[in-house]
Amino acid sequence: MPEGKFTHSIVKRNNPALEMILGAEGEKSLWCGPCAVESREQVLETAAFLKSMGVRILRGGAFKPRTSPRSFQGLGEKALVWLAQAREKYGLHVVSEVMDPADIPLMAHYVDVLQIGARNMQNYSLLKKLARQDKPVLLKRGPAATVEEFILAAEYILSGGRAGVILCERGIRTFERYTRNTLDLSCVALVKQFTYLPIIVDLSHSLGRKDIMAPLARAALACGADGLMMEVHPEPAKALCDGQQSLDFAQFQALLAETGCFGFHGRKRGRVIPLWSSRVNAWNEAGGLRKTENGTAGTKGGE
C-alpha cells in the first residue's frame, strides 16, 4: 500500500486561472455539453439551454479518440470555431480534448481548458508539452491507473509552473458489466486528502447509462467533488458519439430536480440555494420544451 504522501510543493499550489474557471472556493461546477461537436446549430442550441440552467462550462469534442477507426473522429478545427462562437455568444468557458502535442497551439487559441483524455493520462510527451503553456488542463484518470499514478501524472503538467490542473475521475475498468466503467469515488476522497487539486467526476463515461446518474451525483458531491461532468445533447438518439449515455434537455432538468443539490454557481458547501426550479420553469415557459411526434419531451429549435 502506498504511503499516500505527495509533498511536492507544486501539487499544493493555488492557481488564479483555475478560480476563473471554477469560481470561488467552495463553489461547485457543472461541465456539460455533447460528447462530440456535430454542427454549429447543435452547439449553439445546447449552449443556450445550458446557459439558461446556470451552467458556466461547455464541453465538446473536436478531435475524438475512438476505439474503432471507423467511428466518428470529430470535425477538428471547424468544431473549435463553433465552440468559440458559443463561448462568445453565451459567456461560457469551453473545454475540449487535445490528443496531439502539435495541436496544443491550435486548441489553446479556441478553448479555455485543455482536456487530456483517459487514454492519454500517461502520454508523458503530451504532458510535458502542456507544462510549458498557460491554459488550465483537465486531466482524466486512465482506466487502469492507480490514484498515485493519477496524481503523479498531474505533477508532470504542474512541473512547468504555469498551467493549473483540474483532475477528473471517470471510472476504472473492472469485471463489472452493468456500467461502462466502475466509478471509484474513493479517488475523490483520496485526492482531497493528499492534495489541494480540484477534482470533478464524469458521470457519463463512468456509468455509461443515465438511470443511476442522480444518486451517483449526490454521492460524488458528498465525497468532496468540486463539480460534475455530464454529456448533454439536444437529440441523443441521433448523436454521432455516445448517445446512449447523453442526457437530453428534459432529462438534464429532471436530474437537477431529482438531486435537489444543484444550486451550483450560487451554492457554498453545506448550504443549498434553490435556484434550479425557477430556471427550469423559466425555460419551459419560454417554450424550451415541446412534444415530439412520439409524445416524448424534446427541445425547441436551434438559434
- The residue assigned the cell 502539435 is 102
Q: Tens-digit pLDDT profile for the chain (303 aa)?
A: 455 455 444 444 556 777 778 876 778 899 999 999 999 999 999 999 999 999 999 999 998 776 677 666 678 899 999 999 999 999 999 999 999 999 999 999 999 999 999 999 999 999 999 999 999 999 999 999 999 999 999 999 998 887 799 999 999 999 999 999 999 999 999 999 999 899 999 999 999 999 999 999 999 999 999 999 999 999 999 999 888 999 999 999 999 888 875 554 434 333 333 344 455 555 555 555 443 444 444 443 333
- With H, G, I as helix, E, B as strand and everything else as coil, classify residue 126: helix
227-231 and 29-33 beta bridge pairing: parallel
Q: What are phi and psi of 118, to 5 degrees?
A: -55, -40
- With H, G, I as helix, E, B as strand and everything else as coil, classify residue 295: coil
Whole-angstrom Cα distance, residue 281 to residue 289?
10
Taking alpha carbons only, the member of 26, 11, 21, 20 closest to residue 95 is 21
Termini Cα distance of the chain: 54
Taking alpha carbons only, the member of 143, 155, 138, 218 closest to residue 187 is 143
**Confidence at residue 287, expressed as pLDDT on a 0 to 100 scale:** 59
State the angle between helix axes of 40-52 and 77-90 in degrees (0 to 180), rounded to the nearest 10: 30
- The residue assigned the cell 452493468 is 178
**Confidence at residue 156, expressed as pLDDT on a 0 to 100 scale:** 94
Handedness of CA 146, 140, 185, 216 (dihedral sign): negative
- The residue assigned the cell 463553433 is 82
State the angle between helix axes of 249-259 and 213-222 in degrees (0 to 180), rounded to the nearest 10: 50
**Confidence at residue 274, expressed as pLDDT on a 0 to 100 scale:** 38
Task: Work out the widest C-alpha separation in the chain, in whole angstroms.
Answer: 59
pTM: 0.83
Which DSSP symbol is given to 142? P
Whole-angstrom Cα distance, residue 72 to residue 11?
36
